Structure 1
Amino acid sequence: MTTLFNSSQEIVFVLHGLNVTQTNRHIYFVFILVLYLFTIFWNLTLIFTIFLEKMLHDPMYFFLCNLCINGIICASSFYPKILNDILFDSHVITYIGCLTQIFFIYLYIYCEFTNLTVMAYDRYVAICKPLHYHCIMTIRKAWSLILLTWLFSLLEMTIGIVLTARLPLCSVDIDKFYCSNWAVVKLSCVDTTPNNLYGFIFTSYHFSQMILILISYVNIIKASLRSQAGRRKFMQTCLPHLITLTNFVISLLFDVMYARYGSNTSLLALRNIMAVEFLVVPPLLNPIIYGMNLSQIRNRARKIKVVALR
């Protein structure tokens, strides 16, 4: 196949998959805008609640705060573009804009995975080794783990972007309504073995994280069954984490498998829903789920609200 484009040219991608008619465009716009505003509001509420209350300056809450910051990054990399496309009937994105969106969406994915792994380790230490928790999981160690989470995620995403940016392209049609790494790689005219190898290596890395999470939760469940207090602690702090993890992994796995092996013509509605589910649901529901289940956050949020109303 003849190369049509290279990275030095001004490339404009055409995004497909967003089927919005003129009559319901404004309904979709308002609905998505409300989702975006609620996502930002709930995540900021949890972040400010944790940072303003010294009683919540604990490793578990710092990891949760990091989850919310990551959720804001995800929402801000996805919602503005789709809102613009719906309102102005624009379904194109520049080459730089596409790579930028890929960078921040995949940074969110990698950071979410690693942060959920760290949170599983934190809950393992808290429930299985409660007497040694504050010796093992110090504030300094918590900040170090958060820093490493971002550094590893940035490194992983930077390598991916460099490998994708080097590819000459033969088409500009992306079969999604947002940019994804594999959707751009599929447009390449040359051998993509380095990209496939990169995908295999980091998929294996994240699979090993899943194994660590499973091992942690096997031990957590065993320890929780020994006492009523352990079961209560599991329901309050571990169940939200399991809900978040299960939802994120299933929707992401569906999107990855369908992008590589699914048909572009069948099950369009389902494909569109699952393609954005891991970008929409976790950032919106994480702060709500944790806020409702963790009494410390609930009580402090009420306290801040009362003070603000006075």
Structure 2
Amino acid sequence: MFADDIIMENSSEIVSFVLSMYGDIGHLKYLYFLLTMILYVSVILANTALIVIIYVKPNLHEPMYLFLCSLFVNDIYGSTALLPCLMVQILSETHDISLLFCFVQIFNIQTYASLEFQILAIMSYDRYVCICKPLHYNSIITTRRVQVVILVIWIVSFVEIGILLSFTIRLTFCGTVIDKVCCLNHLVLELSCSPTNILSYVNDVVFALIFGVTAPLVFISFTYVKILSVCLKASKETKTKAFDTCTPHLVSIMSFVFACFYNIISQKFDMTFIPLELRVILLTYAFLIQPMLNPIIYGLKLSKIRQAFKRF
């Protein structure tokens, strides 16, 4: 009992964690801060511009572009989950982050990742119906159904991650050092005073791997197998249409899968042979590059958006 009391007393004194991966970068911190700020502002402007264009142009009020709006909103949300904190930490001398803000960051990061995969998955179904069942597209993919699906996706992601995080918040912590540039749920669990193997397993395997990554990717793979089978028998015009509409979606999927894959392997293997600056970029790829990549590839590749942007 006495030992438990000491642990509780020590853990009660912990009011913040230390993000140790930033290290001492000297005067380069001002350059890194400026570059991060420019990128963050660019993400906000690029995604907001496309959202506004889709909103004001009546010919873009179609299901596909509603999904894109949801994707662009999520990209702004995801970059905001990390980049402002990243800029603060770059200039900070101590790299402390309060428990409250750390939990908020975990919630924002995990909901962003969950939403990105789910939106990309439902967009793959939209492409499947458009290419494989074109005559039934307007009856299957209606504006009302799209709005309901988008709302459900956002609500389910917020509730799911909120429930998961509620277990982490109740823990007491004996460690303070997080060897990353941001707070992640499994890293915070490792700092707990009590054994959290089961909780960590549920978070990493059940929620993150199965529901968060594997299920959407299996669904996306299934839809693209169907699309490919139809395209092999289709006319040249159909193949061209499928290529034009599916290319940006596939690029977005592969980019985000790469970001998640690197984060997973970096947790299991020693990546110190990679220069620190590159490791930071790869770890934050999903929040630095992905939110900028999506508006660029969709804005350049989809002719309706490209033409609307020129007139706008």
Structure-1-length-normalised TM-score: 0.92
Aligned CA distance change for structure 1 residues 172 and 209 (closer, same or farther; 3 Å): same
What is the CA distance between 1:26 and its match in structure 2? 1.4
Q: Which residue of 2 aligns with 1:82?
A: 86
Q: Secondary structure at the match of 1:14?
A: strand
Q: Which residue of 1 aligns with 2:46?
A: 42
* Greater CA drift, 155-164 or 115-124: 155-164
Q: Which residue of 2 aligns with 1:106?
A: 110
Alignment of 1:1-310 (within 5 A): 3=7, 11-19=15-23, 21-192=25-196, 193-202=198-207, 203-206=209-212, 207-225=214-232, 226-259=234-267, 261-263=268-270, 265-267=272-274, 269=276, 270-304=278-312
AA partner of residue 63 (structure 1) = F
Q: Which residue of 2 aligns with 1:307?
A: none
What is the alpha-carbon distance in structure 2 between the residues aligned to residue 90 and residue 144 of structure 1? 45
What is the CA distance between 1:275 and its match in structure 2? 1.1
What is the CA distance between 1:9 and its match in structure 2? 5.2
* Greater CA drift, 171-180 or 227-236: 227-236
AA partner of residue 223 (structure 2) = S
Deviations for 1:248-293, whole angstroms, at most 9, x for unmatched residues? 012212202322x223755353532321111211111101100000
Deviations for 1:232-255, whole angstroms, at most 9, x for unmatched residues? 222221111111111101221220
Q: Is the 8 A contact 1:75 1:283 kept in 2?
A: yes
Aligned CA distance change for structure 1 residues 89 and 216 (closer, same or farther; 3 Å): same
Q: Secondary structure at the match of 2:17?
A: strand
Q: Is the 8 A contact 1:98 1:179 kept in 2?
A: yes
Identity over aligned pairs, percent: 35
What is the CA distance between 1:199 and its match in structure 2? 3.0
What is the CA distance between 1:185 and its match in structure 2? 1.1
Q: Secondary structure at the match of 1:22?
A: coil
Aligned CA distance change for structure 1 residues 12 and 264 (closer, same or farther; 3 Å): farther
AA partner of residue 291 (structure 1) = G
AA partner of residue 102 (structure 2) = C
AA partner of residue 257 (structure 2) = V
Deviations for 1:167-211, whole angstroms, at most 9, x for unmatched residues? 221111000111111111111121211331243222222312211
Deviations for 1:142-164, whole angstroms, at most 9, x for unmatched residues? 00110111012112211221121
Deviations for 1:18-59, whole angstroms, at most 9, x for unmatched residues? 145222121111111110011001000110011111110111
What is the alpha-carbon distance in structure 1 between the residues aligned to residue 269 and residue 174 of structure 2? 21
What is the alpha-carbon distance in structure 1 between the residues aligned to residue 152 and residue 9 of structure 2? 37
Q: Secondary structure at the match of 2:183?
A: coil
Unaligned runs of 5+ in 2: none
Q: Is the 8 A contact 1:7 1:167 kept in 2?
A: no
RMSD: 1.9
Q: Secondary structure at the match of 1:263?
A: coil
Q: Secondary structure at the match of 1:159?
A: helix
What is the alpha-carbon distance in structure 2 between the residues aligned to residue 5 and residue 74 of structure 1? 36
What is the alpha-carbon distance in structure 2 between the residues aligned to residue 5 and residue 258 of structure 1? 33
Aligned CA distance change for structure 1 residues 90 and 36 (closer, same or farther; 3 Å): farther
Deviations for 1:214-234, whole angstroms, at most 9, x for unmatched residues? 010011122223221222222
What is the alpha-carbon distance in structure 2 between the residues aligned to residue 286 and residue 20 of structure 1? 33
AA partner of residue 167 (structure 1) = L
